[in-house]
Amino acid sequence: MSRPAGIRFGTPQWAEAFAAQVAQSSEYRNAAAAWGKGFDGSILLVFEADANRAGVERLRLALAEGRCDGAAFLAPGDSSRAAFELQAPFGLWREVLDGRTLAATAILTGRLRVVGEKLTLLRHTAAHRALLHCAASVETIW
């Protein structure tokens, strides 16, 4: 019996694989060269419970000038924050990561909610698109 390929979402291994994707992405390195320059570029991706998945997952990313200096899912009860939070139901995140919905569109239409200085985020849409593409590039068991 063969095991399914990929890494289970929400695990430390998944966060590590994501950080590795960021590290090797020339798209991210170029698009995010100015992200976090002179300001705190940390981001919290909040995957909210919905019909697709019970429970909340919170992925904290330390990002600066085209690098990912750390990626980790927060343990339940860990109230760590980040300078920016992107919040959406799990189903919408799946749409974004599967490429069925553009992250920029989801942000611009308010489906993907932003906590933090929205204007700063909007000035770096290419960086966030590249970041989410890195997430989508991790072979994932949902």
Partner 1 sequence: MDRLSSALQDRLQGVVFTPDQFVAEYLTNFGQIHHWTPRLVVRPARADDVAETIRFARAHGLKVSTRGSAHSQSELAISDGGILLDMRSLGRVLSVDQDGETVDVESGVVWRDLVHHLKRWNLFPRVLTNNLGVTVGGTLSVAGIGVASFRHGSQGDNVVELDVVTGTGDLVTCGPDREPELFWSVIAGLGQVGLITRARLALRKAKPLTRTYYLLYDDVRKFLEDSRIAMDAGHWDHLESWASPCPQGTKPVGGRRQVFARWFYPFHLTVEFEPGSPPDDERLLRGLSPYEKLYVDDKPMIDFLERLVPIFELWKKAGTWEHVHPWMETVLPWDTAGDYIDQVLPDLPPGMLIGGHVLLWPAKGPSSRSRLFMRPPGENLVGFGILPAIPPRHWSKVRPLLDNASRLSTLLGGKRYLSGWIDFTPEEWRAHFGAQWDSFAAAKKRWDPEGLLNPGFVPFDATTAAATVR
Closest CA to 40 of 80, 89, 87: 80
Coil, helix or strand at residue 94: helix
Q: Which of 14, 44, 133, 138 binds partner 1 (CB under 8 A)?
A: 133
Residue 126 makes contact with partner 1 by CB under 8 A: yes
Considering beta carbons, is residue 34 or 62 the nearer one to partner 1? 34
Instruction: Say how far apart CA 119 and CA 87 lie, in whole Å.
Output: 16
CB of 123 to partner 1, least distance (A): 5
Which residues in the 84-103 window bind partner 1 by CB under 8 A?
99, 102
Instruction: Say how far apart CA 31 and CA 82 lie, in whole Å.
Output: 21
CB of 42 to partner 1, least distance (A): 21
What is each CA distance from 87 to 2, 34, 76, 133, in whole angstroms? 35, 23, 16, 17
Strands 7-8 and 140-141, sheet pairing: parallel
Q: Which of 1, 3, 4, 26 binds partner 1 (CB under 8 A)?
A: 26
CB of 117 to partner 1, least distance (A): 13
Which single residue is written with the structure tokens 């909340």?
56
Which range touches partner 1 (CB under 8 A), out of 10-18, 23-31, 45-53, 70-78?
Answer: 23-31
- Site residues (vs partner 1, CB under 8 A): 25-27, 30-31, 99, 102, 104-105, 108-109, 118-119, 122-126, 129-130, 133, 136-137
